[in-house]
Structure 1
């Protein structure tokens, strides 16, 4: 066997090995169909030949099925590639400190750190914290010169806030006496797991907040 023949044989073997079981099975069925069709044509009655339109329709059906099988194979490859990309993202994001903007924040008893995200022209900011029933539990004036703000569960009544509860955080911004608007804090937290939801990346954090890829920003201390 020549070198070219050997290379061709090796390539054919590689193609056969890489083909999916569905594609291989379809190829076998198509070959059987062609053999049966050829036998029918060879043995048909010359005085009453078979309708060639039926042959064309059957061939078209097989061609459509072949395309569907190949499409399914391609989708399987894309799905595998997406899975690999998710693994790469998981390696990049796990353990990273990030910020997530959210008004509703789970409180586990540990101190909550957050950024105020104030407008550039704001000179006053007022934080309000409410329980799930809407009752005001804490309010304070934020120092906008501070990079990071903290809430350790203190309440206006002096009793510690109940743990394992979700609280609503809102920040009202002012310039002198002019009201500029309402904002949500950016919670500083750490990525603990990476998963998928409806094909999109989803992050879990140690603050029990979850967010997609486009809702988180890596937090860097200056």
Structure 2
């Protein structure tokens, strides 16, 4: 005669499990060596495996181990550099910064910019192009002035240009000879 014990229902509460740790690089290397020696120990003596395959496997594993170590080192370096950039950037909070750029965002308000015109240049010509490469504004700048403004007017139509990106180029001349091109400096805080 078989007796069956009555079943009881128990309620289990969820238990937080600790994240499983991944084996360290050295542990996997030791595991690989154990597998390799077990494979050598248990191989058929009448048909041994090629020893160059073992050396290749060992070299590949060693190379992979070095790559993993390099990646983790690079991750640490990248994190520290990110922290350094944040510290350096925090010093600029509340300061006015100017950036030299050829592409300038225009949003239907006058755009103020500065240009470093070398003393050797006696003429500077501003050329503003839209994203299609069409010139919308050309103006000779006063080489003695330091700041300038473009109100967005289109030279051909007289209307205000559409909001968007515009390419600024300032061509410099010395005695009617081309001297070079510079980009405007935009200020922001």
TM-score w.r.t. the length of structure 1 is 0.53
Q: Structure 1: how far apart are the matches of 2:135 and 2:59?
A: 70
1:85 and 2:84 aligned: yes
The alpha-carbon distance between structure 1 residues 53 and 98, as it changes in their structure 2 partners (threshold 3 A), is: same
Give me the CA root mean square deviation: 3.9
**What does 1:191-210 align with in structure 2 at a 5 Å threshold?**
none
Question: Could you say which structure has the higher helix fraction?
Answer: 1
Deviation at 1:145, TM superposition (A): 1.9
What is the aligned partner in structure 2 of residue 117 from structure 1?
116
Q: Structure 2: how far apart are the matches of 1:155 and 1:62?
A: 65
Work out whether residues 170 and 184 of structure 2, in 8 Å CA contact, stay in contact via their aligned partners in 1. Answer: no
Deviation at 1:108, TM superposition (A): 0.7
Deviation at 1:55, TM superposition (A): 10
The alpha-carbon distance between structure 1 residues 64 and 101, as it changes in their structure 2 partners (threshold 3 A), is: closer
Q: Structure 1: how far apart are the matches of 2:125 and 2:50?
A: 82
Deviation at 1:112, TM superposition (A): 1.6
Deviation at 1:65, TM superposition (A): 4.0
The total of aligned residue pairs comes to 165
Q: Rg: which structure is higher?
A: 2
Q: Which structure 1 segments of 5+ residues have no match?
A: 1-20, 192-222
Q: Structure 2: how far apart are the matches of 1:101 and 1:81?
A: 29
Q: Structure 2: how far apart are the matches of 1:73 and 1:27?
A: 14
Q: Which structure 2 segments of 5+ residues have no match?
A: 1-20
* SS of aligned partner of 2:172: strand
Q: Structure 2: how far apart are the matches of 1:167 and 1:62?
A: 53
The alpha-carbon distance between structure 1 residues 54 and 148, as it changes in their structure 2 partners (threshold 3 A), is: closer
Deviation at 1:119, TM superposition (A): 3.1
Q: Structure 1: how far apart are the matches of 2:63 and 2:130?
A: 59
TM-score w.r.t. the length of structure 2 is 0.60
Q: 1:64-123 CA distances to partner (integer Å, 9 max, x unpaired)?
A: 443333233223222322332333344345664112131x42211222222233232222
Deviation at 1:148, TM superposition (A): 0.9
Question: Could you say which structure has the higher strand fraction?
Answer: 1
The alpha-carbon distance between structure 1 residues 157 and 74, as it changes in their structure 2 partners (threshold 3 A), is: closer
